[in-house]
Amino acid sequence: MRATNFLVIIAVLFSFTVMADAGTLEDVKARGKLNCIVSSGLAGFASPDGKGGWQGFDVDFCRAVAAAVLGSGDKVNFVPSTNRTRFAQLNAGEGDILFRNTTETLSRDADLKLTFLPINYYDGQGFLIRRSLGVTSATQLAGASVCVQVGTTTELNLADYFRFNKMKYEHLNTGTNAESIIMYESRRCDVYTTDASALASTRAALKNPSEHMILPEIISKEPLGGAVRHGDDRWADIGKWVVNALIIAEEMGITQKNVKELAKKPGNNPGMNRFLGTEGSMGEMLGLDKKWAVNAISAVGNYGEIFERHLGPKTPLALERGLNASWKAGGLLYAAPIR
Amino acid sequence: MDPRASLSRLWRDEHSRSVIIQILAVVLIFGLFAYLVRNAVVNLEAIGKGFSFGYLQEPASYDINQHLIEYSSRSTHFRAMLVGILNTLLVAVSGIVLATVLGFSLGVLRLSKNLLASKLAHIYIDYVRNVPVLLHILLVYGIIVNTLPVPREAQSLGDIAFLTNRGFFLPKPIFEPLFLVILGLFAAGIVFTIWFRRYAADIQRKTGEHYPVFWISLGAVLGIPLISYFLIGGPITFEIPALTGFNFSGGMVVRPEFTALWIALSLYTAAFIAEIVRAGIISVNYGQTEASLALGINHGRTLNLVVIPQALRVIVPPLTSQYLNLAKNSSLAIAIGYMDIVATIGGITLNQTGREIECMIIVLLLYLSLSLLISFAMNIYNKRIRLVER
């Protein structure tokens, strides 16, 4: 880990010139590949699939951006990162964009010099615990040993929560989600805390998921979203509107299956025509092809399809849409219009 | 005269050529360094990240499980750094002590005439030296965490200490005011010993008579304080740890992260020290021992006065570099979540504030100072044991 930090510094020292002058869009087009920073392994969000490829919710957002910019969802280099290194990697230019179950906060936006894309997952911090311990609420956790990943907003929330509730606890740092699982399974810690979505992913991967439960308290807001470096507005716009397009496609009923068919000729819905590039010049305004949104949807489907594929009830994570349903279905997903 | 000819003559001359090459090398190195620094500064400015250490005064907002000084999540990043420094020092110093004791014993065992002892030591040393230290750390940690019971099923040692996979819970001594008397006696014992050793050496030089210095010193430093401790009725009470809810509370805890790091670093470094000690002892010609015995000096004093002083001259310089290695290897703490310098200021603080360059500069300087400090102390010691020519 220490070595990683030094490598990052060296990378920072060498690579700033590269990123400071050229536009990211031109770089990506010239390279023919999108470098996308993802988690080094979090089932459902980003994990290697054993066939040399990557799978997951975040991975599909990378593919959508690659498809919108380069025409194919396969033109992506996935750059795995830990919580510690992710922002340094982005700022050092190792990746063009980051989709890594990352919480948007003021200090990250302003002080770490990131520009956040629209929120693509509304999450909150929860606690995973063994049923056999007989705990039913987070307020009964006084004295517990708690595992938490370093370099996250969760470790700060954890300190605040226990301080505010005047409970003592033992704080244990782990480097990755995988390390946390090992510590939790060996019972070095009683509780593992992170975003509830990641807890669902972790619980599903344990030997006997039914022996473990997620406590009802959600102690923080964790709006997860992609991010790019400060200072390249055009590139940030592209990331922003690809995410919006995936959300809007679900609202309009455009799916991976029917998108090609719909895009053949203009229909009688002007909004949909603008989306599909059969009317207006939305793609050109972004510096992309007319068919940018069509390409993104053909590569990965709309937001709902991505969710169902990696996180939904039919997956081991078995997450409900909850807050992540479209605003039309009582959720919080509400994208600005393509107009 | 043709300037080209004079240049080539300058190049052909061995002395001036070496000067030219050295100047070029210095210019190149400084040039590269300046380029890197300028590059970083200019580009950090470009994305609006200035260079500043102001963040050290802001609240750290994270918790640290092992803190030797008062610390909470409201303390500053600077204080978190101090906690990290103390944790690094704790493991480095205890590691150096244990590694030295183990290393010297193993080195002597390796030279033992007892075949079993020497072979066992040989196998141990070869195994440990040839496996990376990180694996040792993970192995020891894995053993502690996976084989020891959870607190609710803790292994009790006489109901005052408990072994668990969350650490070793020990009674915590609470010192009463009278304990100061014992401390005073202990200090007096040390002062007396220093004086007595000089006095005894003096007497020996003049008369040839020698006192049992070791036993008298032991009595002064440990014996008298110990006896008076029981005479005043034991002015220390103990707080016994007790199981409350998830964990033990009260008492002291030695966490598995510390234990694993300490044991693994000590075992690893001890194997190297053993080889250094062996080399040192072998380097003293056996003829010296024979000569000393022929003069009627007994075995113990031969070892103390003839063999060890000469062996030390060979042992100490490489020993210093082993101490340095141990101190630096302690940064592998991060692999098991021990909160040392790298994990606090170079880890969480770096990550939460995004001040990579500032934090890494601090971490580098801290390790540099620690290493220089160890070297400095060992150099003083080395000067004292150097062969004094008369």
**Tell me: the pLDDT tens digits for B12-46?**
888 888 888 999 999 999 999 999 888 888 877 77
Cβ atoms A332, A99 nearer than 8 A: no
* Predicted interface score ipTM higher than 0.90: no
pLDDT of amino acid B234: 73
Is A29 exposed, middle or buried, given 0-12, 13-18 or 19+ CB atoms closer than 10 A? middle
Is B94 exposed, middle or buried, given 0-12, 13-18 or 19+ CB atoms closer than 10 A? middle
pTM for the whole thing? 0.79
Taking residues B330-346, report their average pLDDT: 92
pLDDT of amino acid A8: 55
Chain B touched by A7 (CB under 8 Å): no
- Contact state of A160 with B61 under an 8 Å Cβ cutoff: yes
Say whether pLDDT at A43 is over 70: yes
* Selected residue with higher pLDDT from B198 and A127: A127
- Contact state of B247 with A142 under an 8 Å Cβ cutoff: no
pLDDT of amino acid A1: 42
Is A302 exposed, middle or buried, given 0-12, 13-18 or 19+ CB atoms closer than 10 A? buried
Minimal-distance CA residue of chain B relative to A12: B40
A160-164, B127-131, B250-254, B259-263: lowest mean pLDDT where?
A: B250-254
Nearest CA to A339 out of A270, A289, A293, A291 is that of: A270
Task: Tell me the chain A residues in contact with residue B354 when contact means C-beta distances shorter than 8 Å.
Answer: 87, 108, 111-113
pLDDT of amino acid A111: 82
pLDDT of amino acid A2: 46
A20 CA to chain B: closest CA distance, Å? 7
Interface test with B, best of A1, A106, A163 (most B CBs within 10 A): A1
Which residues, in sequence order, are bridge partners of residue A55? A47
Q: Under CATH, to which class is B77-123+263-385 assigned?
A: mainly alpha
Cβ atoms A149, B62 nearer than 8 A: no
Minimal-distance CA residue of chain B relative to A91: B47
Cβ atoms A100, A40 nearer than 8 A: no
Average pLDDT, chain A: 90
The winner for highest mean pLDDT among A119-128, B160-169, B228-237 is A119-128
Strand spans (E) along A131-169: 145-149
Residue spans of the domains in chain A: they are 2-122+223-329, 125-220
DSSP for B104-156, written as a single string: HHHHHHHT-S-HHHHHHHHHHHHHHHTS-HHHHHHHHHHHHHHHSPPGGG-EE
Taking residues B306-322, report their average pLDDT: 91
pLDDT of amino acid B83: 95
pLDDT-derived band at A99 (thresholds 50, 70, 90) equals very high
Task: Tell me the chain A residues in contact with residue B352 when contact means C-beta distances shorter than 8 Å.
Answer: 107, 151, 156
- Nearest beta carbon to residue B351 from set A9, A133, A151: A151
List for chain A the helix, strand, coil content (%; round to 5). Answer: 45, 20, 35
- The domain at A125-220 falls in which architecture? 3-Layer(aba) Sandwich (3.40)
B362 CA to chain A: closest CA distance, Å? 13
The C-alpha R_g of chain B, in whole angstroms, comes to 28
Chain B touched by A151 (CB under 8 Å): yes
Say whether pLDDT at A103 is over 50: yes
A8 CA to chain B: closest CA distance, Å? 9
**Regarding the domain delimited by A2-122+223-329, which CATH topology (the fold level of the hierarchy) does it fall under?**
D-Maltodextrin-Binding Protein; domain 2 (3.40.190)
Taking residues B93-102, report their average pLDDT: 96
pLDDT of amino acid A9: 55
A263 CA to chain B: closest CA distance, Å? 40
Say whether pLDDT at A297 is over 60: yes
pLDDT of amino acid B3: 67
pLDDT of amino acid A225: 95
Q: Kindly state the percentage of chain A with pLDDT values over 70.
A: 94
Q: Kindly state the percentage of chain B with pLDDT values over 70.
A: 98
- Contact state of B335 with A1 under an 8 Å Cβ cutoff: yes
Output the six-digit token pair for B258. Answer: 């510390």
- Contact state of A2 with B145 under an 8 Å Cβ cutoff: no
- Contact state of B46 with A190 under an 8 Å Cβ cutoff: no
- Contact state of B334 with A91 under an 8 Å Cβ cutoff: no
Say whether pLDDT at B316 is over 80: yes
Spacing of C-alpha B286 from chain mean position: 33
pLDDT of amino acid A46: 93
Say whether pLDDT at A13 is over 80: no
Average pLDDT, chain B: 88
- Contact state of A188 with B245 under an 8 Å Cβ cutoff: no
pLDDT-derived band at B209 (thresholds 50, 70, 90) equals confident
Calculate the dihedral angle through the C-alpha atoms of A191, A192, A198, A200, rounding to the nearest 10 degrees.
-20
pLDDT-derived band at A178 (thresholds 50, 70, 90) equals confident
Residue spans of the domains in chain B: they are 3-46, 77-123+263-385
pLDDT-derived band at A18 (thresholds 50, 70, 90) equals very low
Task: Tell me the chain A residues in contact with residue B63 when contact means C-beta distances shorter than 8 Å.
Answer: 155, 158-159, 162, 169, 171
